[in-house]
């Protein structure tokens, strides 16, 4: 479990700010270039949906980075919130077999 106080940024915010806005692109133009619907991409950049593995591959091809980059952003975001949500005090621990 990673101990962080600040929530990681949603990967949609990074996509929006550092890849779409920074390059003077529009959601429609990027969605068309990726072969996804504008609605799908809009949900991601507005932090309402996750980056899927398929979208990660498309983004890596479009922007010249790796699919792992996008998946790791999404994974870190989801794990942080899961750690806040799960009550670990009720979890039974199973040690090694003797």
Whole-number Cα distances in Å, 30 to 42, 49, 54: 10, 16, 15
Per domain, the residue ranges of the chain are 11-90
In angstroms, the CA 81 to CA 9 distance is 11
- For residues 6 and 55, which has the higher predicted lDDT (pLDDT)? 55
CA angle, corner 91, sides to 90 and 94, nearest 5?
A: 145
Query: Within 13 Å and on the Cβ side, how many CA atoms surround 70?
Result: 25
- The percent of residues in the chain predicted with pLDDT above 90, rounded, is 86
Mean pLDDT for the chain overall: 94
Residue 96 has what pLDDT?
80
* CATH number of the domain located at residue range(s) 11-90 in this protein: 1.10.260.40
Helix axes 67-85 and 53-63, enclosed angle (nearest 10) = 140
């Amino acid at each position: 479990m990673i101990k962080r106080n600040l929530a990681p940024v949603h990967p949609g915010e990074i996509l929006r700010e550092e890849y779409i806005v920074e390059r003077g692109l529009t959601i429609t133009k990027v969605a068309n270039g990726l072969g996804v619907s504008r609605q799908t991409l809009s949900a991601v950049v507005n932090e309402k949906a996750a980056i899927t593995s398929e979208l990660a591959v498309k983004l890596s091809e479009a922007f010249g980075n790796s699919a792992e980059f996008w998946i790791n952003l999404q994974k870190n975001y989801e794990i942080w919130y899961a750690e806040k949500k799960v009550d670990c005090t009720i979890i039974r621990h199973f040690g090694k077999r003797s």
